[in-house]
């Protein structure tokens, strides 16, 4: 489970959403369910992601955030010399729900279908 400590420290300030977006963009590959959110590509490209915060709800024990994640996927060809399909990045988008624990910053991530 990932920990969004910087976002938790910024909770209650006007900087919360910007801090959260920056922290999400710096997560290691595989922290978010991007592979499961692919709609066009075969696999997630190793390129930067960006986030858009759709909603933030203050619940008793968690901060519930709905975020849109912009990233890139790749459609890989067969890598044959005569393969007309070049490997190139394709824009992808998925939405996730983040439940940030208010005491530990442990964050549960759920892909929103």
Q: What's the mean per-residue pLDDT of the chain? A: 92
Question: Which pLDDT score is estimated for 84?
Answer: 61
Q: What is the pLDDT of residue 88?
A: 79
Q: What pLDDT score was predicted for residue 76?
A: 73
Low-confidence ranges of the chain (pLDDT < 70): 77-87
Residues 39, 17: Cα–Cα separation, whole Å: 26
Whether residue 50 contacts residue 70, with contact meaning beta carbons closer than 8 Å, is answered with: yes
């Amino acid at each position: 489970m990932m920990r969004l400590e910087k976002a938790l420290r910024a909770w209650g300030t006007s900087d919360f959403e910007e801090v959260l977006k920056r922290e999400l963009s710096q997560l290691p590959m595989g922290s978010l369910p991007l592979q499961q959110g692919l709609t066009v590509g075969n696999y997630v490209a190793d390129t930067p992601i960006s986030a858009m915060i759709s909603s933030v709800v203050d619940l008793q024990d968690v901060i519930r955030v709905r975020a849109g994640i912009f990233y890139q996927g790749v459609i890989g060809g067969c890598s044959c010399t005569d393969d007309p399909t070049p490997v190139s990045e394709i824009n992808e988008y998925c939405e996730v729900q983040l439940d940030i624990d208010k005491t530990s910053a442990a964050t549960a991530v759920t892909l929103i279908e």
